[in-house]
Structure 1
Amino acid sequence: MSIQCKVKSIEPLACNTFRILLHPENPVTFKAGQYLMVVMGEKDKRPFSIASSPCRHQGELELHIGAAEHNAYALEVVEAMKSALENNSSITIDAPHGDAWVREESEHPLLLIAGGTGFSYVRSILDHCVAQNKQNPIYLYWGARDRSQLYAKAELKEIAANHSNVHFVPVVEEAPQDWLGKRGNVLNAINEDFESLADFDIYIAGRFEMAGSAREQFTQNKQARSDRMFADAYAFI
């Protein structure tokens, strides 16, 4: 469904990463883990995960967009958003989309895996589960190139401190000497930490290669069930 939105605010989260709040002219009904398409042209629709959760978004839609200079696909969207904000004009979105939404009826523990700004996808799921007071164990692994990209680390540590069933594990590839957390590849960290993933519902957002590698590694080596692994990438690979 095409919907007109006003751009309410744009603020930096980290280097080349922006939080954008959209106010749709009509409420958008969506599930935690779904995404929207920003309409840039008649045949040009670009997908971005909805970072807000359906139970606590107060009619607004939150996006986290990584828009480095070499990433024209995302950078052009951010520039269009900035122009709409400055001119008080509208952006057109098409929403909701995606089948990798959280299975709320499941009582399995959850493993949420994010690479970079794929965090926006798992943020929606985590926030929704916390708001619904779900007691399933939740493990959130967030992999980034360096710790500056873990822009929500303080927020996630606070959530984990206040909810005994939530566990947050940051993983950085380029770690300084004083980094006390996990280092290297986020999938390797999960492989090291879990003997088996047979009981888990697994939700993944990141590059297609990461999602594909996770499915291969976890089903072959960690007894994960492919029918309980969810990622938008799986519709394409």
Structure 2
Amino acid sequence: MTIECEVKSIEALACNTYRILLHPENPVSFKAGQYLMVVMGEKDKRPFSIASSPCRHQGELELHIGAAEHNAYAYEVVEAMKVAHQNNGKITIDAPHGDAWIREGQTRPILLIAGGTGFSYVRSILDHCLAQNVTNDIFLYWGGRDERQLYACSEIEEITKLKSNVHFIPVVEESNDAWSGRVGNVLQAIEDDFVSLSEYDIYIAGRFEMAGTAREKFTLMKGAKADHMFGDAYAFI
């Protein structure tokens, strides 16, 4: 379903990463973990995870878009959003899409894995779980090149102080002296931390190579069930 949206705000979250709030002219019904497509042309629709959760998005749709100039695919979308915002124009979206939404009513512990702005996908799921008072253990692993890419660390750390079932492990590839967290590859951190993933529902967002590696490694080495691993990438790889 295509819908016209007002661009309510654009805010820099980190270097080349933006939070964009869209206000659709008609309400959009979606599930936590789904995505929308920004319509750039008749045959040009570009997917982005919805960062807001369906139960408390107040009619607006939140996107987190990483848009460095060398990434024209996302950069052009952010530029189009800026033009619409400045000129009271509209952006057309096609939504909702995706089958990697949260499976509700399960008692299994939940493992959320994000690479970079893949965080927007797991943020929607986490926020929905919090709003629904889910008591399952939730482990969130977020990997980035450096600390600056993990723009919502303080937000998630505050949640862990309030919710004893939420566990947050940020992982950076490059660190400085001020960084006290994990350093290395986020998938390796998970391998190191879990003896078995056989009882987990796993939700992952990041590059297709990352999702593919996670499925291969975790099913072979950690007993994860492929049918309990969810990610938009798995519709294509």
TM-score between both structures, scaled by the size of structure 2:
0.99
Aligned residues: 237
* Alignment correspondent of 1:61: 61
* Alignment correspondent of 1:209: 209
Distance between the aligned counterparts of 1:180 and 1:79, measured in 2? Answer: 35
Following superposition of structure 1 onto structure 2, how do residues 8-157 of structure 1 map, counting pairs within 5 Å? 8-157=8-157
* Alignment correspondent of 2:224: 224
Distance between the aligned counterparts of 1:177 and 1:13, measured in 2? Answer: 22
Distance between the aligned counterparts of 2:191 and 2:175, measured in 1? Answer: 19
Distance between the aligned counterparts of 1:69 and 1:122, measured in 2? Answer: 25
Runs of 4+ aligned structure 1 residues displaced above 4 Å come to none
Distance between the aligned counterparts of 1:195 and 1:175, measured in 2? Answer: 27
TM superposition shift of 1:177? 2.5
Deviation string 1:81-123 (CA, Å, 9 cap, x unpaired) is 0000011011000000000000012110000000000000000
Distance between the aligned counterparts of 2:179 and 2:9, measured in 1? Answer: 33
Deviation string 1:117-160 (CA, Å, 9 cap, x unpaired) is 00000000000000100000000000000001110000000001
TM superposition shift of 1:178? 3.0
Give the 3-state SS of the residue equivalent to 2:213 in structure 1: helix
Deviation string 1:11-69 (CA, Å, 9 cap, x unpaired) is 00000000000000000000000000000000000000000000010000000000001
Deviation string 1:173-226 (CA, Å, 9 cap, x unpaired) is 001133211111000000000000000000000000000000000000000000
TM-score between both structures, scaled by the size of structure 1:
0.99
Q: Percent of aligned positions with the same letter in both sequences?
A: 76
Distance between the aligned counterparts of 1:84 and 1:138, measured in 2? Answer: 38
Give the 3-state SS of the residue equivalent to 1:177 in structure 2: coil
- Structure 2: runs of 5 or more not aligned: none
